[in-house]
Structure 1
Amino acid sequence: MRAWRALGWIAIIAVGLFLFQVLRTVVISVIVGVFITALLLPPARWLMRRGLNRALATAVVFVSGLLVGGAFIALLVPPTIASVSDLSASLGKAVTDLNSLAAGFGLNGAAVVDQVGDYLSKQGQTIATGALTGVRTAGEILVGTVLALILAVYFVHGGDRLFRWLVELTPVQARRTLVDSGELIFTVIGRYIRGVALVGLVDGFFIGLALWIMGVPLALPLAVLTFVGSFLPVVGAFAAGLLAAVVAFVAKGWLVALIVVAVTVLVQQLEGHVLAPQIYGRALDLPGAVIILAIAVGSLVAGIIGAFLAAPVTSVVVALLHRNVTAAEGAPAPARAGPGSHPPAKESPA
């Protein structure tokens, strides 16, 4: 029976992956919509508890979010353009420094640059094809983003009603399990999104502050990139720190680049050992190797969007498996929410 059950689960997973590939844009939009809902539902509920109806609370939350996002973009674009100009002026000096460094190791830096240029010119057709693919991908991202926002508005306004309607379509004996699973999934996603956003905000603030104090161009965009990179655990922090060090090297030289690396490592250590455990709780209780493998699989299945969704989806799967094991052993569930626990009903759209 166990063998047949395992084969059944394998078949279900295979069918699910096939449907995901066929309906990838829609499925990803639904998942992102749930993530946005997990982020915006608490303030909407706070407003409803103070007398606002569903429609007005939903409108206030989403309009406020759009205004904050628009103001942030307006604040970000001008310094980014100015910093790119400053960075371009420093690029020649950085190339000279790299040539000197290469010469110190017995390499011809100018020849390496010429070879890279020749390679890029020969790969022009491939680059053009990749650009067309990027345009198509950007179109899919735009459509998916609009759909995710529309779904998030609906989920915040009436997600509990939709969830009850879906549960009532299932057999009676399965409804309690589905409700419990929905509560657990929504709680884990909510803790993950809010925790990552807060941790990323702290990381971006301190790293951006250090870059600004040292006069590194693109300090604000790099701080934003650090914030975004926090949604890609392990890999995102490394990539954002590496890019910040490269910009610092191009603009200010080796010494400032090393200081940026040291600051990035210090902030990451503070996050990993002090901040994140207090904020996440058990919402992302996954070993680093598992996170890296999940991100790799997610990127293969759904590109960059899949990479960003891999960690929370894996956390949800682990939470469900842990709960099933706990239920099978007959042990009571822990009181706190997260993987392996029963969350309170008030955290669920149901």
Structure 2
Amino acid sequence: MRVKTLRAGHLLLVVVLVALAIWAFWRVRTVSIPVLLAVFIASMTVPPTRWLVRRGLHAALATTLVWLGALGGGALLVVGLVPVTAAGIDDLSINVDRFAVDLQREAARFGVSEARFTELTEQAKEWLSHQWGDIADGAITGVIMTGEILVGALLALVLAVYFTYGGANLLTWLTGLAPAASRERLRSGSSVVFQVIGRYMRGVAFVGLVEGALTGLGLWALGVPLAIPLAVLTWIGAFFPIIGAFLAGLLAAIVAFAAKGWLIALAVVVLAVAVQQIEGNILAPQIYGRALDLPGPVVLVAIALGGVLAGIAGAFFATPLTAAAAALLHHHRSAEDGPPAADSKAPEENAAT
């Protein structure tokens, strides 16, 4: 009974500490979110840097080469997307009038008369006109938020470069501040979390790349404008499991409906569903592996909670942090249970994988 009471008290203490940590994290979110984002970015840049170091390059030179490649690739992507997006928007703007006519025709099929459709349109315009005052009032707030975002992005970038170069030394210094008995466990737990986050980020990036390529090819074959920007948006949506794919597919269907009509829009919906089936049944199990095999309801709840607590940033961090927490619990349990049997695979190995 005493052991059970101690374990219950220990669990309650852990819950309280986690709640306090989340509260403190949110109170200083202007700094804490960039730090967390830097860790996520470093989880993708550290492996190639270590690969170059193992082949004889100095750590500083390896870090420089990796980051020059990453920044150069991002710049080429932006430069390549700008003219294509501008041309696609011009092509789409030509079809706006036809889109309104098609929408009115489709509304008539459901019993909405032309007069009622016009009335609804005028009401929407009137509602939008009333919002301009609120938008103007929030302009200063928007400027402040934009400044915070830019500062946070710069801080995340600088920290990610530092983590890529000297993250191991920083971890050694931080764990050295803890009691000697817990240092090794903190280091091994940090390693597990970092590996899981890195595996998740690289897996999502690759899966999103395949999804974006398939979506872009399908939209291009169907003659839908903005095929390349929508493909990039599909890749970005992959970092927001389930919800991101749905929103990207919905936007692609809306663009297809505006440009080509409802038949092509229906084909785009079928394309989005097919791509999601390929991702869910073929790519994700092979890329992520069992270490990140989170049930669908857990992912949805995590994203919902993250979105409520921290908006877009919370929705982005929700799934990998949940996966990291699950892996850390498996690692902690395996450490308490002792070394595994020779004929079974170690839970710690599974978590680190």
| Shorter-normalised TM range | over 0.9
In 1: Cα distance, 2:143 partner to 2:346 partner: 45
User: What is the aligned partner in structure 1 of residue 62 from structure 2?
Assistant: 57
User: What is the aligned partner in structure 1 of residue 315 from structure 2?
Assistant: 307
TM-score using structure 2 length? 0.92
Instruction: Specify the SS of the correspondent of 2:77.
Output: helix
User: What is the aligned partner in structure 2 of residue 229 from structure 1?
Assistant: 237
Instruction: Specify the SS of the correspondent of 2:191.
Output: helix
- Identity fraction in percent: 50
Question: Residues 335 and 342 of structure 1 are in contact (CA less than 8 Å); yes or no, is this contact kept in structure 2?
Answer: no
In 2: Cα distance, 1:78 partner to 1:278 partner: 36
Which shows bigger deviation, 318-327 or 248-257? 318-327
User: What is the aligned partner in structure 2 of residue 316 from structure 1?
Assistant: 324
Q: Deviations over 1:230-268 (max 9, x none)?
A: 000010001100000000000111111111111111011
Q: Deviations over 1:281-316 (max 9, x none)?
A: 124311111111111211222221111111111111
- 1:140/1:336 CA distance change after superposition, 3 Å: farther
In 2: Cα distance, 1:234 partner to 1:131 partner: 32
User: What is the aligned partner in structure 2 of residue 286 from structure 1?
Assistant: 294
- 1:342/1:271 CA distance change after superposition, 3 Å: closer
Q: Deviations over 1:192-223 (max 9, x none)?
A: 00000000000000101111122211111100
- Which aligned pairs between 1:105-116 and structure 2 lie closer than 5 A? 105-107=110-112, 108-116=116-124
2:222 maps to 1:214? yes
- Give 1:123 deviation, angstroms: 2.3
- Give 1:140 deviation, angstroms: 2.0
User: What is the aligned partner in structure 2 of residue 91 from structure 1?
Assistant: 96
Which shows bigger deviation, 164-173 or 194-203? 164-173
Instruction: Specify the SS of the correspondent of 2:303.
Output: helix
Structure 2 residues without counterparts, runs of 5 or longer: 1-5
Structure 1 residues without counterparts, runs of 5 or longer: 345-350
1:246 aligns with one of 244, 254, 261: 254
2:47 maps to 1:38? no
Supply the RMSD in Å over aligned alpha carbons.
1.9
In 2: Cα distance, 1:336 partner to 1:156 partner: 29
2:82 maps to 1:80? no
Aligned residues: 343
User: What is the aligned partner in structure 1 of residue 3 from structure 2?
Assistant: none
In 1: Cα distance, 2:25 partner to 2:145 partner: 16
User: What is the aligned partner in structure 2 of residue 347 from structure 1?
Assistant: none
Paired residue type of 2:352? P
Which shows bigger deviation, 62-71 or 104-113? 104-113
User: What is the aligned partner in structure 2 of residue 136 from structure 1?
Assistant: 144
2:271 maps to 1:271? no
- Give 1:322 deviation, angstroms: 2.6
Q: Deviations over 1:113-152 (max 9, x none)?
A: 1111111112222233455444333322211111111111
In 1: Cα distance, 2:199 partner to 2:42 partner: 12
Question: Residues 331 and 347 of structure 2 are in contact (CA less than 8 Å); yes or no, is this contact kept in structure 1?
Answer: no
User: What is the aligned partner in structure 2 of residue 24 from structure 1?
Assistant: 29
Q: Deviations over 1:66-116 (max 9, x none)?
A: 111111100001111111111111111111111111122122222211111
Question: Residues 83 and 218 of structure 1 are in contact (CA less than 8 Å); yes or no, is this contact kept in structure 2?
Answer: yes
